[in-house]
Amino acid sequence: MSIRYIDEIGKLSGKRIFIRVDFNVPQDDSGAITEDTRISGAVATIRYALDQGARVVLASHLGRPKGEKKPKYTMAPATKRLSELLGTEVKQAPDCFGPKVDSLIAALQPGEAVMLENVRFYAGEEKNDPDFAAKLANGCEIYINDAFAVSHRAHASVAAITTFIPTIAAGFLMRNEMTFFDKAMQNPVRPLVAILGGAKVSGKLEVLETLINKVDKVVIGGGMAFTFLKAMGYDVGKSLVEDELLATATKIMDRANERGVRFYLPVDCVAAEAFDAAATNFVKPVQEIPAGWMALDIGPATATLFAESLRDAKTVIWNGPMGVFEMDAFCRGTYLVAEAVADCFATTIIGGGDTDSAVRKAGVEKRVSYISTGGGAFLELLEGKILPGVKALDVP
């Protein structure tokens, strides 16, 4: 594929540029933004366009309004935060299109920007509707996709819109995402270690099947580990298990063995009487989980084992927590792995979503090489898929 970036498309001065960003950021009950990584990540692209004298139209979604105009999902708080980060006012449009929006855009001076209202206020966004895409395009001369985290979705502002704007390219955040992915998967410095966690094998089955053919080591934690342990014959109590995938888990382990891929699973765990932060819990070997109990975190011996597996790593990819890290009683395993990843003399790439949150809570975000802004998009890249939003940027 041939993708151009915003600094490769020539003069921007005076041009009307549509930049798709992903400002789908967490907010508290009052609407205040609690974490702004996705906003700050897009600042470099937006500032570059403004400094070049472009007239910038920004678009994003927030939450799941399901095609309805719901005030709680307005882009206004994100627009305010962006203005603070840029040090210049970004105007907030009242809608995605229409006479009032047209007037705001027409009045933009070089170096000014306006944010459209939440594109998911219209059902046409998620349907990749060309009529909605044409309304968004609104006479723009250049389209920039800097929204990696939503580029696995064939939505109107990500895919269909590119047919209505003559010049298309990607932003700096997108370039960072693709560059670090290529470092990890296309031409990695070895040993290459993949750490996978989270609840279910089914959510990462295609990722596992792809990675087994590319990595040198696989480290499995989180709830998904117990499907593998049960497939090996362990009694794992009431731990999360996908019984329908036991045979698949065995095949994955057999494939790893055939290729000489080291396959690491927990040797101990924090077992609890119930899925409850206040439940009685003990550290137990995985062979000794009491009947009726469930494993909700990896244990200290496992954390040490996993850390040792990273000692000689040169490239590390991590997606998925090691336990129910949202509960204080079951967060230690994830935090210990985060520390181990941060201590690596390796290129370390964190796969967005819950892993991003865990790394930040562990306080090691500045000690890893790169934190992806996209969980689902990151996983689909690991599966070997071409993201619709990236495919739409391909220049013939």
Residue 253's φ and ψ, nearest 5 degrees, are -65, -40
Q: Is 361 a catalytic residue?
A: no
Ordered mean pLDDT values, 10 residues apiece, the chain (396 residues)? 92 97 92 91 98 98 96 96 97 97 97 98 98 96 97 97 97 95 89 94 88 96 96 96 95 96 98 95 96 97 98 96 95 97 95 87 94 89 91 87
pLDDT at residue 339, as a whole number: 97
Q: What is the pLDDT of residue 184?
A: 87
pLDDT at 41: 94
In the residue annotation, 63 being an active-site residue is answered as no
Residue spans of alpha helices (H) in 87-154: 99-106, 123-126, 130-137
Half-sphere exposure of 358 (CA within 13 A, CB side): 33
Q: Residue 318 is encoded by which pair of tokens?
A: 């991590």
Spatial CB neighbours of 145, under 8 Å, sequence gap ≥ 6 = 20, 151, 158, 168, 169, 170, 171, 174, 389, 392, 393
Yes or no: say if 113 and 137 are a contact pair by the CB < 8 Å rule: no
Q: Sign of dihedral through CA atoms 229, 231, 236, 242?
A: positive
pLDDT at 121: 98
pLDDT for the residue 186:
84
Concerning whether 10 is annotated as a catalytic residue, the answer is no
Given the residues 200, 214, 360, 391, the one annotated as active site: 200
CB contact at 8 A, 236 and 226:
yes
| Active-site choice (53, 67, 376, 384) | 376
All domains in the chain, ordered by first residue: 6-175 (3.40.50.1260), 188-382 (3.40.50.1260)
Does 353 participate in catalysis according to the annotation?
Answer: yes
* Helix 375-382, helix 172-181: angle, nearest 10: 40
* Active-site annotation holder among 353, 374, 375, 389: 353
Nearest to 263 by CA among 221, 321, 323, 318: 221
Q: What phi and psi, each to the nearest 5 degrees, are found at residue 41?
A: -65, -25
Pairing of strands 294-298, 281-285: unpaired
The catalytic position among 15, 38, 55, 204 is 38
Write the CB contacts of 92 (distance below 8 Å, at least 6 apart in sequence): 75, 76, 79, 80, 114, 115, 117
